[in-house]
Amino acid sequence: RRALLVLWDINTQSNEETAGMVRHIYREMAEAAAAAAPRVAGDGEKDVLPHCNLQVYTYTCDVGKRENVYLTAERVRKEVGEVSVLVNNAGVVSGHHLLECPDELIERTMMVNCHAHFWVT
């Protein structure tokens, strides 16, 4: 509701698909709210806030790479503004038992599942 949403994903296509789904959901909510809301005549109309006014921005970012996080964050600050709420749910799973997992996958898992939380914050 009156949110400004910034989505980051390593996969540009899936990020755009997510943004599209969010826009669709909010459009449906706005239409339902508009249909259900009583109409206010005259000057009162400008005082009635819209139920939903979502803005969605998408950025391709590999949160497992510190410099990519810092560059993307700077772009967001310049293009969108300061972030007031952060939800970070990035994560990877190697699919191997620890002792069978290649070093590269362990490092990637730690970068995305642990270090990225600090860098993004």
| Residue 25 DSSP label | H
Bridge partners of 56, per DSSP, are 5
pLDDT at 28 over 90: no
pLDDT at residue 47, as a whole number: 42
- Residue 43 in any domain: the answer is no
For residue 116, which of 9, 5, 6, 3 has the smallest C-alpha distance? Answer: 9
| Residue indicated by tokens 């000057």 | 43
Give the residue numbers spanning the domain of 56. Answer: 2-33+50-118
Please tell me which residue, 31 or 5, carries the higher pLDDT value: 5
| CATH number where 106 lies | 3.40.50.720
Q: Read off the pLDDT of residues 44-89 as tens digits, 9 standing for 90 and up.
A: 544 444 555 679 999 999 999 999 999 999 999 999 999 999 998 8
- Residue 39 in any domain: the answer is no
- Residue 44 in any domain: the answer is no
- Residue 106 in any domain: the answer is yes
- Residue 59 in any domain: the answer is yes
Number of domains in the chain: 1
pLDDT at residue 49, as a whole number: 47
- Residue 41 in any domain: the answer is no
- Residue 85 in any domain: the answer is yes
pLDDT at residue 112, as a whole number: 95
CA distances, 50 to each of 28, 77, 85 (Å): 13, 26, 21
